[in-house]
Amino acid sequence: MVAKVSVVGAAGYTGSELFRLLVTHRGVNIVGAYGSKSAGKCISEIHPNLLGISDMRIEEPNYDKIGKEADIVFMATPHGLAMKSTPGVLKGGAKVIDLSADYRFDKLEIFEKYYGKHVSPGLKSVYGLPELYREKIKRADLVANPGCYPTAAILSLAPLIKSKLIDLNHIIVDAKSGTSGAGATPSEITHHPLAGANFLAYSATTHRHGPEIDQELSKLAGKEIKASFTPHLLPIIRGILSTAHVFLKKKMKKEEILDIYKKFYRKEPFVRIREVLPQINFVVGSNYCDVGVEIDADNNRAVLVATIDNLIKGAAGQAIQNMNIMLGLDEAEGLRDPGMRP
């Protein structure tokens, strides 16, 4: 059976990636593309790489209709939109994968502190990180696809947090992203003449992905964790490199830590543990998260580096991985591209 899928926010950067990956997916047909300002335009007018591949027209969303026409609906829209439309889509019978933050938080007060008022807080969602929640994702009607920085940070830290080998009070996540992380709408900070030969920290102590990282690390640890998270903007288009600094409770060798990581992720199709520290161009264009470690013996510090493509494992690829799990398909279907290098 071929499943029917629709993309709301088809004109954006994650919408573009969803289309690019879904058009060659063997288990689904795209039945709807939706947008706001782009409504009325052909998908290939907005995304010229899709000329001759998809001539679907983008429409204004009617969520009652969208919920009835599709098996899975991707919400690739800014925060605040899915919370309004998801109840109607679910009522129509479709399942929802939301790429925004609307359903990522367990605690309403944390969501509202960082994103504002929620209008459908009662809906049950599963945090869509397959490496931690695969069984729940299989049964979910609503999956909250993780943020891009949290995907890299959580995957780099999960095995050591679970193993109880580190000081949980001192975790530092220093992460860098390419400019496509900010979406398709131009802004001063991502405008090429200013971003193209620049490098800066932003929202250094207040970024919205901080509480999301804390939520998931706390669940892994079984106690409240507050990591110190600071993001930076790299003068590249795609990719995230996250460097986590943690302090070991006892002396450990790099090989011992690598063994813990290899065991933890031994069945994972999209996490690769490396002997050398990963670089962004090891993963760009792919759904992989690569993780490596170095030990600073003098300070008992482990440095955990993870890289992802923010638009793929950090967004559209992970959403398709979740869709594959929800539909009972091969988890890697549509996601086998090893990426590009150089």
Residues that bind ligand NAP (CB under 6 A): 8-9, 11-15, 34-38, 61, 76-79, 81, 99-100, 147-148, 180-181, 183-185, 310-311, 314-315
CA atoms of 107 and 147, how far apart (whole Å): 16
C-beta separation of 230 from 204 below 8 A: yes
Both tokens assigned to 263: 């065991």
The CA-based angle 184-130-95, given to 5 degrees, is 70
CA-to-CA dists, residue 209 to 79, 146, 305, angstroms = 13, 9, 17
Residues 6+ apart with CB under 8 A from 182: 189, 190
Answer yes or no: 289 catalytic: no
Hunting for tokens 């933890």 — which residue is that?
A: 264
- Torsion sign over Cα 316, 318, 323, 329: positive
Hunting for tokens 């800066």 — which residue is that?
A: 200
- The catalytic residue among 33, 148, 157, 240 is 148
Residue type present at position 278: P
- Bridge partners of residue 28, in order along the sequence: 3
Phi then psi for residue 161, to 5 deg, are -70, -45
Both tokens assigned to 79: 């925060």
Let me know if 219 is exposed, middle or buried by CB neighbors in 10 A (0-12, 13-18, 19+). Answer: middle
* C-beta closer to ligand NAP: residue 67 or 293: 67
C-beta separation of 177 from 233 below 8 A: yes
Beta carbon of residue 300, minimum distance to ligand NAP (angstroms, whole number): 34
Peptide bond into 193 cis (omega under 30): no
* C-beta closer to ligand NAP: residue 78 or 87: 78
Beta carbon of residue 79, minimum distance to ligand NAP (angstroms, whole number): 5
**What angle, rounded to 10 degrees, do the helices at 148-162 and 254-264 form?**
110
Both tokens assigned to 311: 């638009």
Pair type for strands 271-273 and 72-75: unpaired
Catalytic residue IDs: 148
